[in-house]
Structure 1
Amino acid sequence: MKKALIALYIAGLGIGPLNVAFAQDLSTQKVPLDPGVRTGKLKNGITYYIRKNAEPKNRAELRLAVKAGSVLETDAQQGLAHFMEHMNFNGTTNFPKNELVNFLQKTGVRFGADLNAYTGFDETVYMLPIPTDSAGLLDKGLQVLEDWAHGALLDPSEIEKERGVVLEESRMGRGAQQRMRDKFLKVILNNSRYAERLPIGKDSILKSFKPETIKAFYQDWYRPDLMAVIAVGDFDVDKVEATIKQKFSSIPVPVNAKKRTKYAIPLDGSTKVAIVTDSEYPQNLIQLIYKQPNSKTKSLKDVRDNFGQGLYNAMMSQRMQELTQKANPPFLYGDSQYGDFLGDLDSYTSIALAKDAASMKTALTVLLEENVRVQKFGFTQPELDRAKKDFYTAIEQYYKERDKTKSAEHVQEYLDHFLHEKPYMGAEMYFEFVKKHLDGVSLAEINALAKKYITDKNRAVVVMGPEKNKDELPKEAEIRKLLAEAGKDVTAYVDDVVDAPLLPDEPKPGKVTSEKTLEKLGVTELTLSNGVKVLLKPTDFKNDEILIKATGKGGYSLFADERETGIFTSYLIQSGGVGPYSQTQLQKFLAGKTASAGPYVSELTEGIGGSTSPKDLETTLQLIYAYFTAPRKDADVVTGILANQKAYLENMQKTLTPEKVYSDSLNAVLTSNNPKRRPLKPESIDKVSLDHAVEMYKDRFSDASDFVFTFVGAFKPEEIKPLLEKYIGGLPSTDRDDTFKHPNIFPPKGTIDKTIYKGLEPKSRVTLISSGEYEYSPENNIQIEALQEVLQIKLIEALREEESGVYGVSVSESTDKFPSGHYRFSIGFGCAPENVDKLVKRAREEVSKVKQNGADPKDIEKFVAETQRKTETALKTNNFWLDYLDDNTFLGDDLDEIFLQEKLLKSITVASTKAAAEKYFSDNNFIKVVLMPEKK
């Protein structure tokens, strides 16, 4: 919820002095922009934004934004805005053919993961993260942006090759969701141009357009007055500005430039109803959309008014969430939010996922009632007070982290400014503004928004469900009647709040019995008197963040025939709340605090995860202590949860989608249909016992002595020791010797070839698996990782660039240490059914080449560069260290292993990749599973 608040409110998080006086008449004052950003406009019309930011160090985030998307296409160009985005990676003035991707991979930039782009209705954005610690790389990155802006070669032969790739992207997007969207989009978009210009376009045009047609789009719309260059990173701002001026000023302004029409979605005041069904859609979904003219943030009054919007959203979300936590929830999921819609519109949208078709009417009724409840009675003052606390805390934390904000976050702010006219104030000015004006937002002001948001004008209701249940869905006349009569008997909201200490009794503190320093890691290891081990790694990566993870061995593997209960145990326990608080009461108790923690029980482990700020560390530790010692059991809430889960699974079983059938079939093959790995079915829920879940949970959390707690973040070990002794040292301990019972389920040996026939669309999916026994070690692990990456590179080149047969290829690897070493490689892609055999053959040929010759040295160079760059960045994040310390401790691996990476990377050679491929890819141990459309 806090992240949502931030996203809605923060106009910018840059650093800048508070250099504006906030007068009372805010409507006359423009929003001040963060002075830490250097902006300008070249004579040819290109806008630029430049900011120095050292998070992450030695990196920059570059963007080219173009105010041109699919809405500008002519009838003959449908899909070519997106096709143009593809072509900018297939040959430019300074990077012909595939040299752009090749060059960037050698610098450690990964295609798809780092280097990427997207095309929307109104814009196209190119994304390029680039290292800045090697001479000339930043200049090369800006050269790439210049090439994208006006140097695309659009070679006819490259266009022909790319047709197949884009058509495969289109193919992969087909299915029930797409078919239903195509039916209701024109209804909710009032037959506007947006409904006719989906970015993927039309296959008929993608197959047959002439090169001149896409060149015309490029020449018309990729022009200086519609472009912005954004650079944020660890660099010299003066030098970057000079480079931008030097490279981009020469881009010519077109003569007689086409007018850039701003298309609108007309509002005619009517209520639209769309009821759409599909034979492959398993769920029952309702969307209630109230369309509104877009509200621009131009003055400081608008900034303040946005407080109300976000506070409203937060309180409404809380109410909707509470409905799903009741004994008989009206839907599986529900929410209501005001925000951006499309084009020139905003919308207030209520959404519900119903249990089944018969419950759709109930779900819609409750959505409408909750909206009317707010209209009639408004929110309560305690609700608003809590929402303000949460909002203030979130903004305060962003202010505290202002010098740790990632460059990518800043970039998004400037994109929003250029594309959507959203201001960026900077963290310092915005926080000062919040401190000055948040308290003044009144309850009456918020409650008035309900009457603005929820009207009987410009509404749309979309009902989506399975074709076979079409007759059970509400009819249009019923829906219109519900809209007209909604909420007649609705009563005011009752705020269920408890005022009690989280821990009624103080824990009996333990003591630190031993302490040692792992100097190389910067970690302090404590052992407490109850046997708990604690790893402390203080960092300065964030100013206001502490991450916590605790892991113990055992999980539900120790409970025979309790898999179903085990899977749901932590979910059911958390749903009951903790100590004196129910789940909803606990959320209210924690309002305004940066304190979160929750337990989990998995097959092999149990534990706690949490995050907090230094000031709320004690509250978080109290919460952890309470989850160990005072879990709550709420049978009524659990009954509702399990009923919802069963209904969801029944929907999935009644309407088996191609994806579900394929996933389940693949799982059955890879696990030899072992009962411990079978997907959950409706009857599985009948085996879940709350009483057994409570017994299992209490057993797993009755002894903390085998737990290892890891703390990473903004703290000093000596200062937090007393809290650790009190709350972690005070946890119960029986000093038992625990471990897990590994099920030892791995892919079978031998050769398996299975084809599943399911689905209406002409599309297939392919998964190729190689697996076997493995000697787990850092030396072997790095060879496996290298083999995965070089195969990923080669298969993209072969299947996408050369064969034009796929949109993407995934190559993944996994290794297991327990109960004995095991590895698995998986190659997956989607394609046309008629191309399956050809592409499988080509994929296996590429694997065979590596087995025969080893990897291409250039691909090894790319893997090494990518790994080094990725690790450099990861080492400066709290999340990396939390997971690294926790994982290595659980596996019993050397905690100093991270320092071996440079040496291990040097061991990757052509010969080593050849040996690894020979060892890990055997024709005698190979599984192929293919999804084909249903035979007609």
Structure 2
Amino acid sequence: MGKSFAVIALALLSGALIVATPASAAPAAPAGATRTAPWNSETTELEADSRIIYGRLPNGLRYAIRRNERPENQVLVRLAFEFGSAAEADDEQGLAHFIEHMAFNGSTNVPEGEMVRMLERLGLSFGADTNASTGFVRTQYKLDLPKADPALIERALFLMRETASEISFNSGAVDRERGVVIAEMRDRENFNFQRNRAASELLYPDSYFSTRYPIGKLDVLQNASAEKMKSLYRKWYVPDRARLVIVGPIDPAAIEREIVRKFSNWQGSGATLGEIDRCSFDNDRPAKAAIFSHPEVYEALNIEQIVADKKRPDTFERALLDLKMGMAAAIVADRISRKSRNEDIPLLNSGLSFAAGFCDQHARVGMTIAGKDGSWKTVLPIVEQMVRQAVEFGFSEQEISEQIKRYDAAFDNAVKSEPTTVSSSFANELTNLDDDIVTSAEYRLRLWKQLRPFMTKDAVSREFAQWYGRLDRPRIFLSSKNSDPATPETLLAAFSESRKQPVEAPTQRASLEWGYTDFGPRGDVVEDKSIADLGIRTVRFSNNVRLNIKRTDFEKDRVRWTLQIEGGKLSLPTADQPLGMFMDGAFASGGLGKYDIDDLRAVLAGTTASPAFASAPTYFGGAGAIVSKDLERQMQLLAAYVTDPGYREEAVKLFRRPLPEFYARLDATPGSALTIGQARIMNGDDPRFVLPPIDALLAADFERLRAAIGTQLQSGAIEVGLVGDVDEAAAIDTIARTVGALPQRSSKEVDFGSAKTTSFTGSYGIHTLYHRGEANQLSWRRVWSTTDDSDFRLEQTMSLLADIARIRLIDELREGLGATYGAGAGSDMSDVYPERGMFTISTSGDPKDLEKIEAAVDEVVAELLAAPVNADLFERARKPTLESYADWKKRNATWMDIVDEAQSAPDRLQRFRISEEQYRSITPQQVWEAAKRFLDPKKSYTFRVVPKVAVQN
């Protein structure tokens, strides 16, 4: 089929047509494999990324290999099957997901229980580096290898090959895993899950979106036999439905040869299975409404209409459509945000939901709206009319120009950063690819430059009106804490009545220029040193602003920044601690003296500078990441927040608006009830560690915040940290003209005094808390108080103890008992509060299993206290951390942990230096000694979070 008229016209108008070019020359495929065109290239004119090698084995297995250097040592292996819950029969619902679980429970060449242990011995942490997922149309397996070791890659491909066709489905193993799968269902099927299912039944009836949830059905999971699963596995796990993706610092030729060796003998059933149902809907279906009521849900509306469309492969035509609709959605969102800020309306958030080519023959056109409880009658017409306003009056030149600036910057920045893009981005894109083609950032920039002239206000306005002008027979779904007095009829009537109301043209906004460039005379450098072995440059300015710089090449054209002003929450009076939360939620959104937050975002369009400014225990400030050229704008922005914060009342109103709903749902789930209850029981009424009463937050305002902060923003010591692709001389000059030009900062260290003194209540024993979630959900936690992190070796030892405990808990609770989907352990030793720390064991389950969960935890803790762990368990626990050191110093985030306070906390530098060597030297005996020191069974807090309904019954 020839190109559409729209595509040909676009090419003629632009003066040149970008055509696909052949992939760059690469070594020939090894014997037993064939090179292929990029995936989906047959449906597009777009140019594929030539750095990806695509191939196919005679059995039909497709593979993609991309060499990538970031992280320098990590290799990502993905195996995906075009099989998910959409392909299940009625009596198979949930079995695609069950099969995924069985991949870790034994195969022809790996005994049951050994796969996870094998991976741990190789340095992979179960859950973080070893994982799998099942969706509607795809099941995928992932292994994140810590290094590019050929032997390790061979083992990874061996395990993927076992997954492909050798899962054993031993009946005993199936029965043991059955409890884990059911536990996962129990954990997920809360009121939010029920809400989403009910919404899908209204919006997408009789499709796999509403009838084939991947989690499945309980009766199927409880009764499915091993043979039934094995039969389904043999049917769908076939080479021509599989794709293998490998990304990292690898030799592609060697990888291809290993793929041939491992997978060429994999034979499929030979049956042609066809495409999984892509779903179909009636484009002329009438308007309809439904209501989901639950005492714990937030009030929200989904308004959506299915309209006729067509299959939309990854072409110029679709790129043009996506760009126009993306711009339109952003403009409408900005308009709604401004109205929400300027008027006292009960709207919490909203957005447009648009997808062309949906199910290959439809488009979804709609909106989502969330409001305060009982507000749907108010917020529905507000958003509906603002969307219709855009349909009738379109968009302005200023609004389109602002969006173009953002797209210009985004495409340009992507090109500069692509050389150091992390491997996971490429691996995930290839693994989850549907009908698109993988292109390079450089090509996307070229394409954008050709499409950019067509992003006019008239073109974007027409495109938006074409789709949203058809929103006249929607499906309306309301989720509400209390549906009364709403009915489906009143929902439809409210929408119909809103559409009858006339709308006026929007107010035109003026273009703005950046107005914060002069902060006084340039600051002088009075000290310039280097920490030679760490490559950190430390600078001090005459006003006592300190700057720390670490130049790296780990993230091309990216600079991570921090700014800290000494003070923070601990400098506030005890009664004013809630003001810290208020500052976190309202200070930045109060904007600046010259701009409200919406105008500020508009004037920053085209830059990566962001208004980030909040509070931490010992400082005020912010952190973020920018492209290198935006460092000056970011520092000007931060200096402006220090010298001219906006303190606007609308930010106060927006902070307060969601609080009643938030507080009303603190016990809505086991997890939230546990978090709130544990803090209160362990800390009493200490305002530093417990959620304040709602009245305290509702009373917070900028007048009280300004009084509490006093002159700290104007005079507190400032320390700036910069890590990444930074020009040191230019950075020093930038700081000199911004925060280095501010008035003199204090050189006296803040004495927090008793504000750092803490203690736990000592209320040891069992504490029963209650949640209002599902009756079959339990959260459980045991906590021991430990100490602070002043002894670095002890901190590392306790972290290793937590990793050991986690492995044993998973062995016993998940694999042994099948009583929970997951279990965790952690050590948190404070770097702020002396002698404060916690060691925690957490899990979840069914309340009926409480006794055996606690017995299993008691057994694991007793084991940790009885004797040093064996060598195999010790190595499995520490190996992932040891392997992580290979890339540890090659990540900007790692360096920022010490650069941010390189001058104010120099002791942290020595920890950095010795971290790996010291961790390697920790022994099982030392871990045992730490366990005996802190894990006293008589001095622990045990939290059981059970459903209120169980108590009432």
Instruction: Indicate how the Cα distance of structure 1 residues 124 and 530 shifts in structure 2: closer, same or farther if over 3 A, else same.
Output: same
Alpha-carbon shift at residue 222 of structure 1 (Å): 0.7
Taking the TM superposition and a 5 Å limit, the aligned residue runs for 1:489-508 are: 489-497=502-510, 499-503=512-516, 505-508=518-521
Alpha-carbon shift at residue 893 of structure 1 (Å): 2.9
- Paired with 1:898 and 1:256, the residues of 2 have a C-alpha distance of 58
Contact 2:171 2:226 in 1 (8 A): yes
1:859-881 deviation per Cα after TM superposition (whole angstroms, max 9, x unaligned): 32233321123233342222222
Match of 2:898? 884
Alignment equivalent of 2:280, drawn from 265, 272, 277: 265
Alpha-carbon shift at residue 856 of structure 1 (Å): 2.6
1:504-550 deviation per Cα after TM superposition (whole angstroms, max 9, x unaligned): 64422211101110011110011111111111111111221111102
Pair 1:240 & 2:285 matched: no
- Paired with 1:350 and 1:696, the residues of 2 have a C-alpha distance of 42
Match of 1:552? 565
Alignment equivalent of 2:623, drawn from 609, 617, 633: 609
Identity %: 22
Matched residue type, 2:677? S
- Paired with 1:133 and 1:411, the residues of 2 have a C-alpha distance of 15
Matched residue type, 1:391? Y
- Paired with 1:504 and 1:615, the residues of 2 have a C-alpha distance of 15
Matched residue type, 1:730? A
1:441-468 deviation per Cα after TM superposition (whole angstroms, max 9, x unaligned): 22222112223332236632110011xx
Pair 1:254 & 2:254 matched: no
Of stretches 526-535 and 637-646 in structure 1, the one that deviates more from structure 2 is 637-646
Pair 1:124 & 2:136 matched: no
- Paired with 1:229 and 1:840, the residues of 2 have a C-alpha distance of 41
Instruction: Indicate how the Cα distance of structure 1 residues 667 and 354 shifts in structure 2: closer, same or farther if over 3 A, else same.
Output: same
Alignment equivalent of 2:713, drawn from 701, 716, 719: 701
Match of 2:164? 149
1:89-114 deviation per Cα after TM superposition (whole angstroms, max 9, x unaligned): 11122322122211211222111111
- Paired with 1:930 and 1:893, the residues of 2 have a C-alpha distance of 40
- Paired with 1:576 and 1:280, the residues of 2 have a C-alpha distance of 33
Of stretches 492-501 and 444-453 in structure 1, the one that deviates more from structure 2 is 492-501
- Paired with 1:506 and 1:611, the residues of 2 have a C-alpha distance of 23
Match of 1:362? 378
Pair 1:91 & 2:100 matched: no
Contact 2:539 2:546 in 1 (8 A): yes
Match of 1:79? 94
Question: Over aligned residue pairs, what C-alpha RMSD do you find?
Answer: 2.7
Alignment equivalent of 2:151, drawn from 121, 136, 146: 136
Contact 1:795 1:809 in 2 (8 A): yes
Unpaired segments ≥5 residues, structure 2: 1-17, 26-40
Matched residue type, 2:766? D
Alpha-carbon shift at residue 628 of structure 1 (Å): 0.9
Pair 1:288 & 2:303 matched: yes
Matched residue type, 1:551? Q
- Paired with 1:846 and 1:618, the residues of 2 have a C-alpha distance of 54
Unpaired segments ≥5 residues, structure 1: 1-10, 19-25
Alpha-carbon shift at residue 498 of structure 1 (Å): 5.3
Contact 2:136 2:208 in 1 (8 A): no
- Paired with 1:287 and 1:775, the residues of 2 have a C-alpha distance of 48
TM-score (norm 1): 0.92
- Paired with 2:226 and 2:140, the residues of 1 have a C-alpha distance of 22
Instruction: Indicate how the Cα distance of structure 1 residues 507 and 495 shifts in structure 2: closer, same or farther if over 3 A, else same.
Output: farther
Pair 1:371 & 2:387 matched: yes
- Paired with 1:284 and 1:552, the residues of 2 have a C-alpha distance of 39
Matched residue type, 1:723? T
Instruction: Indicate how the Cα distance of structure 1 residues 303 and 416 shifts in structure 2: closer, same or farther if over 3 A, else same.
Output: farther
Alignment equivalent of 1:689, drawn from 701, 709, 719: 701
Alignment equivalent of 2:370, drawn from 333, 353, 370: 353
Match of 1:325? 341
1:293-344 deviation per Cα after TM superposition (whole angstroms, max 9, x unaligned): 4652343333333322322232233223323322414401122242479755
- Paired with 1:624 and 1:602, the residues of 2 have a C-alpha distance of 16
Instruction: Indicate how the Cα distance of structure 1 residues 597 and 739 shifts in structure 2: closer, same or farther if over 3 A, else same.
Output: farther
Match of 2:74? 59
Secondary structure at the counterpart of residue 419 of structure 2: coil
Contact 2:787 2:838 in 1 (8 A): no
Alpha-carbon shift at residue 590 of structure 1 (Å): 0.7
Secondary structure at the counterpart of residue 230 of structure 1: strand
Alpha-carbon shift at residue 775 of structure 1 (Å): 6.6
Secondary structure at the counterpart of residue 732 of structure 1: coil
- Paired with 2:684 and 2:57, the residues of 1 have a C-alpha distance of 64
Secondary structure at the counterpart of residue 431 of structure 1: helix
Pair 1:526 & 2:542 matched: no
Alpha-carbon shift at residue 680 of structure 1 (Å): 4.0
Match of 1:471? 484
Alpha-carbon shift at residue 584 of structure 1 (Å): 0.7
Secondary structure at the counterpart of residue 66 of structure 2: strand
Alignment equivalent of 1:404, drawn from 395, 420, 445: 420
Of stretches 719-728 and 740-749 in structure 1, the one that deviates more from structure 2 is 740-749
In the alignment of these two chains, the number of paired residues is 911
Matched residue type, 2:188? G
- Paired with 2:678 and 2:695, the residues of 1 have a C-alpha distance of 21
Match of 2:632? 618
- Paired with 2:664 and 2:762, the residues of 1 have a C-alpha distance of 35
TM-score (norm 2): 0.91
Match of 1:627? 641
Pair 1:115 & 2:127 matched: no
Alpha-carbon shift at residue 484 of structure 1 (Å): 5.5
Alpha-carbon shift at residue 63 of structure 1 (Å): 0.8
Pair 1:387 & 2:403 matched: yes
1:760-810 deviation per Cα after TM superposition (whole angstroms, max 9, x unaligned): 422211111111345721111110111011111111111111111110001
Secondary structure at the counterpart of residue 185 of structure 1: helix
Match of 1:449? 463
Alignment equivalent of 1:32, drawn from 33, 47, 52: 47
Pair 1:68 & 2:83 matched: yes
Instruction: Indicate how the Cα distance of structure 1 residues 278 and 141 shifts in structure 2: closer, same or farther if over 3 A, else same.
Output: same
Match of 1:203? 218
Contact 1:547 1:882 in 2 (8 A): yes
Secondary structure at the counterpart of residue 439 of structure 1: helix
Contact 1:282 1:651 in 2 (8 A): no
Match of 1:866? 880
Matched residue type, 1:557? L
Contact 1:333 1:353 in 2 (8 A): yes
Alignment equivalent of 2:677, drawn from 653, 661, 665: 665
Contact 1:15 1:403 in 2 (8 A): no
Contact 1:323 1:330 in 2 (8 A): no
Alpha-carbon shift at residue 929 of structure 1 (Å): 0.8
Alpha-carbon shift at residue 363 of structure 1 (Å): 1.1
Instruction: Indicate how the Cα distance of structure 1 residues 587 and 17 shifts in structure 2: closer, same or farther if over 3 A, else same.
Output: farther
Instruction: Indicate how the Cα distance of structure 1 residues 495 and 342 shifts in structure 2: closer, same or farther if over 3 A, else same.
Output: same
Alignment equivalent of 1:644, drawn from 657, 663, 667: 657
- Paired with 2:601 and 2:215, the residues of 1 have a C-alpha distance of 42
- Paired with 2:552 and 2:757, the residues of 1 have a C-alpha distance of 38
1:608-664 deviation per Cα after TM superposition (whole angstroms, max 9, x unaligned): 3243222222211211111111111222x13531441344346437x8555444432
Of stretches 889-898 and 215-224 in structure 1, the one that deviates more from structure 2 is 889-898
Contact 1:62 1:231 in 2 (8 A): yes
- Paired with 1:241 and 1:783, the residues of 2 have a C-alpha distance of 41
Contact 2:137 2:276 in 1 (8 A): no
Secondary structure at the counterpart of residue 670 of structure 1: helix
Contact 1:817 1:891 in 2 (8 A): no
- Paired with 1:918 and 1:32, the residues of 2 have a C-alpha distance of 62
Alpha-carbon shift at residue 179 of structure 1 (Å): 3.0
Alpha-carbon shift at residue 257 of structure 1 (Å): 4.2
Instruction: Indicate how the Cα distance of structure 1 residues 156 and 521 shifts in structure 2: closer, same or farther if over 3 A, else same.
Output: same
- Paired with 1:720 and 1:94, the residues of 2 have a C-alpha distance of 57
Match of 1:721? 732
- Paired with 1:684 and 1:649, the residues of 2 have a C-alpha distance of 14
